[in-house]
Structure 1
Amino acid sequence: MFKINLLSDKYILSLIILGVLSLFPNINVYEFRGEESLRVIVSYEMVKSGNFLQPTFLGDLYFNKPPLFNWFIAISSFLIPWSELTARIVTIIFLSLTLLLIYRFSYKIFSDKITALFSSLIYLTFTDILFWYGYLAEIDVTLAFFIFLMIYFQYFGFIENRKDYILLSGVVAGLSFLLKGFPALVFFGITYFALIIFTRRFKEFLNPFLYISAGISILIPALWILNTADPERYIQKLFLESIVRTRGGSDILKFLTHLVEYPLLNIKQLIPGVIFAFIVIFLHFRKKLSIVLPENIKLLLFIVALNYIPYILAVESRGRYVIPLFPVLAVVFGYILVKAQKEKLLRAFVYTALFFITVRFLLGFIGFPILMEKKASRKKVAYDIIQEVDISKNIACDCSPEKSVCLYIDFEKGEPLKKSKYMKNWDYLIDCSGNKKGNLLKVYDLKGKKIYLYEKR
């Protein structure tokens, strides 16, 4: 009888491929949610206006994020007609590239295929990756690829004294800035600081290539930002965005609560890999097995720990802010799990990964259609509006909070909707203020959030 070797490299690779494929079923059925619509509207307006340097949102100049993620979506739109897949494929592609990079990083350190493959599988099956950010048109997983690529060049550039890698780390840091702004430079600086402190190679603080690399990381975003509508305002806004999202607090109780809740949130994000790592550590202390952490694993943990400090100290931190550290943790967990040399434990993880991937397929095939039937659908509202109005006429959108509705109308109309202040000659207006602005055609109730459709008198 044909017997499957669950721990063979071919089987683990097949699981990884299956896991990536599990992200696709009904990806266009699950409508845009949260900030996805914002990313796509900005990208859509870029393509239609031809202005790729200064982002806009419903006609307003947009300063909250740099444009690289929008550029990726714009490139995708030339290959895939505008839909949920157009934007989400960007995240899936960079997730796949991260899996390849994790494999390369782990194999380069440990020279072991199984360890490298398990590291990739662990990252893919992290709860926040497989069931959430791994396919949504959000910046975080794409940023994780660039930050991990930067760490890859920093680590091997430093350890192997590769000057070209040190310079490349600056290039990648600059590109990372174009994704999410100043946090990329913080990751860059802290990681080099961690490498120098851990190895006690303090002379590296005087390494000119390190400073040239830092200069490159600043030059790349500077070349872009100087060509925007208001460079000074853009820099201020990006800086304030970074400060607001990672600020501390004067409320001691809130801070202490954050110190407890935030690590628990991160542990939830890292299930199931973190659970298996904890099991190995528990068995080690119970003398059931022996696991020795080599210096390179300790160094990776030190890099993660130092980069984690700003987020554990900031009461406003969200779980997704530390996703860029997940690939490094996947490498560590992969090593711990494989080197524990417990075949039952490895098999248990494989079965767990298979279960998670199966659930992800079911979520796509069955869950998404059910969710869309039960929830208040912005997509349905958009298509109902399309039936109510003459789509060829001018439509304005003054409803930023319900931007998904305007986005789906963008797709059908073939041009971006703008706020009424930019479209004085509007024929129809989508509004959510409740202030009468014309002949009321219809009111849509999205579980307490109301959208008003007006026709000009």
Structure 2
Amino acid sequence: MNPILKNFKIKYRFKEILGIIFLIIFALGLYLPYIELKEFQGEEGRRALVALQMLETRNFLIPNILGEPYFNKPPLFYWLLALVFSITNNCSEFVARSVSTVMALSGAVFLTFIWKNILKNSNIKYSFWSLLIPGLIFLTVPEVIDKAIRAEIDQTYTFIITVSLFSWFYFYEIKNKKNLGFIISGLFLGLGILSKTFQALSFFYLAIVPYFLFQKRWKELLSLPHLLGIVTYLLVFLLWAIPANFQIGFIPFLKAWISEYQTAATTAEVPLIDHLSSFTIGVVIGYSPWIFFLIFYKHKEFKKFLNQYPSLKKIALFSFCLFAFSYFFYFIFIGSRLRYILPSAGGFVFLTCLPVFYCFIHSHSFWKSRFFKTFYYGIIGFLVLSCCILTIYLMVAKPLQHIPVFLIFNLFCLFIFSLIFFISSRRKSSFTLIFAFLIVAVFFVKQIYTSFYYPYHQAHLNHFRNASVEIGNIITSDQKKDNSLYICKEIPHHIVYYLKYRFHIIENIIYSKYCDESYFKNWMLVPAAYQLFHINTENYKVYQLKIRKKDYLLIKKQGNSS
């Protein structure tokens, strides 16, 4: 091999390895601080509880909670959580949420890999920073950040769908390996179905159907490679569905999934007009600051740039089909939430990555735009002013010793860096500085939010943790050896998680659908809203509990009751 060519390859390989290391350090620094302080919210407790029940019962086929099958979601995410809990021998909030952090990081690395190969295919040279554009954009999208610090399915699901879609694009369009493209995408589509049901297919077909139609290649949808892809994702799904059907039947799962689709599509928390406006505003906020770079698609110079490189033009069209049609598909359903379109984030990343990369090459195009100059300096002014206002508020509202040191540090860093970027950018020479500023700004804004809100949440909004400790103290103070807790009507999954697994206060928790005195021996926890059997003070002692916004009754059966 030519020594010059060999050195060239070594240089690029070193740059790629260094880039991956940087993404890892950046992602961990962005996501992990304070991740364990906030108690489980939303569905987090249920996700962790199902995984822990799998480990306890050794039944990994059918998700269940306290013996009751849980049909709403397939088992893949629970398998992943159970595996991590088992390996670490730890089921804390930090461990559960770090699964999503790793999935977000993996998505960023995968998008960087695809981007690198597209640039190589187009014979485009890239710098260290231009190589990392898609990975850094993905990691700093606010919607991705929000889901990367939750013990929820969304980030894992997004990673699986992203790999499915862009592995298809890479092998099918770039490498021209059509069979392999559909087979690999089919494999991950099958995993997507096992994560969040058949809606995984919607993202795939919302992307490739219009992509083929725009290029007048619709016949390829009827090709043998596509058939191989269909067979692949069905086989992956059936590997679980057939054994599940033999054990408990598949119909309950299907009914639960259809019910969820109907609820998501029709349940409106706000009127239609409010939904349409809030959904759009949510997209703008949830995908800032990068969404504003889409304005470049109306510039003639940028369009000429794309036309020079067929691979870049193809990835732009494919990404547009994925993100735009996913957005409009969920936009029309009044029960949709912003997180529903998160699996299309890979398309958004490449759509914004291309104009950002163009600015790296033609930095003058950014500074020529009055909009982007106003946008850039507006962000700097807003951040500097916000730092000053928040600092003054903290000094007035709290004693200095009660202000988290990490919060003060982050406010100081954001203020100083904003001023440095403002002074440095006056020369208007390099876009790298602008890109670095946007990354740094998102990083420190997120750190300020978590260092302010998470300790506050731990101190004032620890509803489930505090309630679990209170319930545990009441029950364990009883002199009886059998401190089993019976739960009826509904399962408070956060309470069960903290009582049984996180704090190890109550080892035996039993669920019954019926609130009947014959179903419990000593203790019962039930929502106060339900009508119970007759309770008298001679046979029962009742503790009234307020758990977040809901009233519960903790009932103790007295010793003289028969």
What SS class does the counterpart of residue 246 from structure 1 fall into? helix
Q: Deviations over 1:334-363 (max 9, x none)?
A: 221121232555423322321322233344
Q: Is the 8 A contact 1:166 1:209 kept in 2?
A: yes
Q: Is the 8 A contact 2:36 2:94 kept in 1?
A: yes
Q: Deviations over 1:296-328 (max 9, x none)?
A: 213321232233332122111100000011122
Structure 1 spans left out of the alignment, 5+ residues: 1-7
Q: Deviations over 1:359-388 (max 9, x none)?
A: 333444443121221225211111121122
Q: Is residue 2:101 matched to residue 1:92? A: yes
Q: Is the 8 A contact 2:206 2:321 kept in 1?
A: no
**Aligned counterpart for 1:419 among listed residues 501, 511, 528:** 511
Task: Give the corresponding residue for 2:523.
Answer: 428
What SS class does the counterpart of residue 389 from structure 1 fall into? helix
Taking the aligned partners of 1:256 and 1:421, their CA distance within structure 2 comes to 40
Shift of 1:413: 4.5
Q: Is residue 2:202 matched to residue 1:169? A: no
What SS class does the counterpart of residue 64 from structure 1 fall into? coil
Taking the aligned partners of 1:199 and 1:74, their CA distance within structure 2 comes to 44
- 1:192 partner amino acid: I
The equivalences for 1:19-30 within 5 A come to 19-30=27-38
Q: Is the 8 A contact 1:43 1:73 kept in 2?
A: yes
Q: Is residue 2:265 matched to residue 1:246? A: yes
Taking the aligned partners of 1:280 and 1:195, their CA distance within structure 2 comes to 21
Q: Is the 8 A contact 1:392 1:413 kept in 2?
A: no
Aligned CA distance change for structure 1 residues 172 and 447 (closer, same or farther; 3 Å): closer
Structure 2 spans left out of the alignment, 5+ residues: 1-14, 121-125, 308-312, 364-428
Shift of 1:15: 6.7
The equivalences for 1:294-313 within 5 A come to 294=307, 295-296=313-314, 297-313=316-332
**Aligned counterpart for 1:407 among listed residues 494, 497, 519:** 497
The equivalences for 1:281-296 within 5 A come to 284=299, 292-294=305-307, 295-296=313-314
- 1:139 partner amino acid: I
Task: Give the corresponding residue for 2:64.
Answer: 56
Task: Give the corresponding residue for 2:12.
Answer: none
The equivalences for 1:46-445 within 5 A come to 46-80=54-88, 81-111=90-120, 112=126, 113-130=128-145, 132-159=146-173, 160-162=175-177, 163-228=179-244, 229-247=248-266, 254-275=271-292, 277-278=293-294, 280=296, 284=299, 292-294=305-307, 295-296=313-314, 297-340=316-359, 341-342=362-363, 345-390=431-476, 393-398=483-488, 400=490, 402-411=492-501, 412-413=504-505, 415=507, 417-421=509-513, 424-434=519-529, 435=531, 439-445=540-546
Aligned CA distance change for structure 1 residues 444 and 292 (closer, same or farther; 3 Å): farther
- 2:510 partner amino acid: K
Taking the aligned partners of 1:88 and 1:21, their CA distance within structure 2 comes to 14
Q: Is the 8 A contact 1:376 1:446 kept in 2?
A: no
Taking the aligned partners of 2:213 and 2:507, their CA distance within structure 1 comes to 53
Q: Is the 8 A contact 1:194 1:302 kept in 2?
A: yes
**What's the TM-score, normalizing by structure 1?**
0.88
Q: Is the 8 A contact 2:171 2:180 kept in 1?
A: yes
Q: Is the 8 A contact 1:23 1:364 kept in 2?
A: no
Q: Deviations over 1:153-182 (max 9, x none)?
A: 221232133112211111110110000001
Report the aligned-residue RMSD.
2.9
Aligned CA distance change for structure 1 residues 18 and 400 (closer, same or farther; 3 Å): farther
Aligned length: 443
Q: Is the 8 A contact 2:266 2:333 kept in 1?
A: yes
Taking the aligned partners of 2:154 and 2:497, their CA distance within structure 1 comes to 21
Shift of 1:426: 4.3
- 2:509 partner amino acid: L
Q: What fraction of aligned residue pairs are identical, expressed as a percent?
A: 21
Q: Is residue 2:51 matched to residue 1:43? A: yes
Shift of 1:278: 4.7
Q: Is the 8 A contact 1:291 1:339 kept in 2?
A: no
Q: Is the 8 A contact 1:280 1:337 kept in 2?
A: no
Shift of 1:145: 0.5
Q: Is the 8 A contact 1:91 1:137 kept in 2?
A: yes
Of stretches 176-185 and 357-366 in structure 1, the one that deviates more from structure 2 is: 357-366
Q: Which structure's relative contact order is higher, taking Cα pairs within 8 Å and 6+ residues apart?
A: 1
Q: Is the 8 A contact 2:482 2:522 kept in 1?
A: no
Of stretches 30-39 and 112-121 in structure 1, the one that deviates more from structure 2 is: 112-121
- 1:110 partner amino acid: L
Task: Give the corresponding residue for 2:366.
Answer: none
Q: Is the 8 A contact 1:140 1:323 kept in 2?
A: yes
What SS class does the counterpart of residue 243 from structure 2 fall into? coil
Taking the aligned partners of 1:185 and 1:317, their CA distance within structure 2 comes to 17
- 1:352 partner amino acid: L
- 1:389 partner amino acid: I
Taking the aligned partners of 1:235 and 1:316, their CA distance within structure 2 comes to 20
- 2:215 partner amino acid: T
Q: Is the 8 A contact 1:128 1:270 kept in 2?
A: yes
Q: Is the 8 A contact 2:49 2:497 kept in 1?
A: yes
